[in-house]
């Protein structure tokens, strides 16, 4: 049954009023989420929370009282970099290896410093494991944390006065409120899942970068500490003697190792900046190729001398064990490389 012009006009006015009210509420919520006590854009304030590590974190946590998104980054900066600073001080007191621990913590802190500043400037609430949860609890009393780029939740539907009974059918049906709420919950769950997956990939790449830097530093400057240690007492003083396992032929392998680690560092930096599935497949495939070449080269050069171990049986067993481990690593990398190649070909074909 066709609607009369009066009914059409009334339906149009009701829909237009509903849309205008929704847009007005949306603008008010967005304006509130952009307001800061420090008078700057939230993404800039979030970056500055990390720029001076825990010092600027404390400053913004005290000054910022309106925007919980900025307060979250300030609290996370205090926890992450304050914790790393304390860990570096305490571990630095450990004899011999304390300096190594301090270097490792410094590398991890530098990587987190870069990643957190980039993510904050991009308007994302990137949570560091454990530290992010504590930061959320620190500001839980202030309200809900929102994302800078989009409002935390869609505005509630505007209720309209009940309509008089009509003998004519409605031209279209509005989804029930329960169905709308369910769709919103599902959408939020999907967004949270995808965001957590991305945060997990970024965290994995950050630790891969840190590990690659540690490997480069250790094998280029501290490989002589991989040795057999023996102690003898001279004039009531215990003297430790170090007999390195690596020979001078390690110089043939170190350039290959350094190149592989440098490629891994550059590759994971690219993946942090550009999180694309196809790019990730290609980068990880290239890293695996160089990793396999590095292990095979180590196995062929074999720059080890286990004869420094006094027990000949233990020396022979160590030689065999290291050889078997390197072979197993080579086989594992070969299988991983083959699987990545198949996946890459299938992805390109699609």
Q: What is the pLDDT of residue 105?
A: 85
pLDDT digits over 79-103, tens only? Answer: 999 988 888 887 777 666 677 777 8
Q: Which residue ranges in the chain fall short of pLDDT 70?
A: 1-7, 9, 17-18, 20-34, 94-97, 141-196
**Angle in degrees, CA 229, 231, 232, rounded to 5:** 150
CA 144, chain centre distance (Å): 23
pTM for the model:
0.49
Cβ count near 75 (within 10 Å): 24
Give Cα separations from 164 to 13, 15, 140, 180 (angstroms).
16, 16, 46, 24
Non-local (6+) Cβ contacts of 72 within 8 A are 125, 132, 135, 136, 139, 145
* For the chain, the helix, strand and coil percentages under 3-state DSSP, each to the nearest 5: 70, 5, 25
- Look at residue 268 in the predicted model and tell me its pLDDT: 92
pLDDT number for residue 151: 47
Half-sphere exposure of 181 (CA within 13 A, CB side): 5
**Given this model, what pLDDT does residue 194 score?**
65
Task: Look at residue 32 in the predicted model and tell me its pLDDT.
Answer: 41
């Amino acid at each position: 049954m066709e609607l009369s012009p009066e009914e059409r006009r009334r339906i149009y006015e009701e829909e237009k009023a509903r849309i205008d009210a929704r847009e007005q509420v949306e603008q008010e919520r967005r304006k509130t989420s952009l307001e800061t006590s420090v008078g700057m854009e939230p993404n800039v304030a979030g970056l500055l929370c990390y720029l001076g590590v825990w010092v600027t974190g404390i400053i913004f946590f005290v000054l910022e009282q309106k925007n919980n998104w900025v307060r979250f980054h300030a609290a996370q900066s205090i926890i992450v970099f304050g914790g790393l600073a304390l860990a570096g001080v305490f571990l630095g007191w450990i004899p011999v290896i304390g300096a190594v621990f301090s270097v490792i913590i410094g590398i991890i802190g530098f990587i987190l410093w870069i990643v957190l500043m980039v993510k904050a400037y991009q308007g994302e609430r990137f949570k560091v494991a454990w530290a992010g949860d504590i930061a959320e609890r620190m500001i839980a009393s202030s309200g809900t944390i929102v994302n800078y780029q989009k409002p935390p939740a869609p505005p509630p539907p505007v209720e309209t006065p009940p309509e008089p009974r009509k003998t004519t059918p409605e031209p279209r049906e509005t989804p029930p409120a329960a169905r709308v709420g369910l769709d919103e919950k599902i959408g939020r769950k999907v967004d949270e899942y995808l965001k957590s997956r991305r945060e997990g990939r970024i965290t994995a790449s950050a630790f891969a970068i840190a590990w690659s830097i540690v490997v480069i530093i250790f094998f280029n400057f501290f490989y002589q500490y991989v040795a057999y240690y023996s102690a003898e007492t001279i004039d009531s003083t215990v003297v430790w003697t170090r007999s390195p396992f690596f020979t001078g032929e390690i110089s043939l392998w170190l350039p290959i190792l350094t190149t592989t680690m440098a490629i891994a560092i550059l590759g994971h930096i690219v993946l942090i900046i550009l999180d694309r599935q196809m790019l990730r497949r290609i980068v990880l495939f290239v890293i695996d190729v160089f990793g396999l070449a590095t292990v095979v080269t180590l196995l062929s050069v074999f720059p080890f001398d286990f004869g420094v171990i006094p027990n000949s049986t233990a020396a022979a067993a160590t030689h065999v064990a290291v050889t078997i481990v390197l072979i197993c690593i080579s086989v594992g990398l070969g299988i991983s490389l083959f699987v990545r190649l198949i996946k890459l070909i299938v992805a390109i074909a699609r």
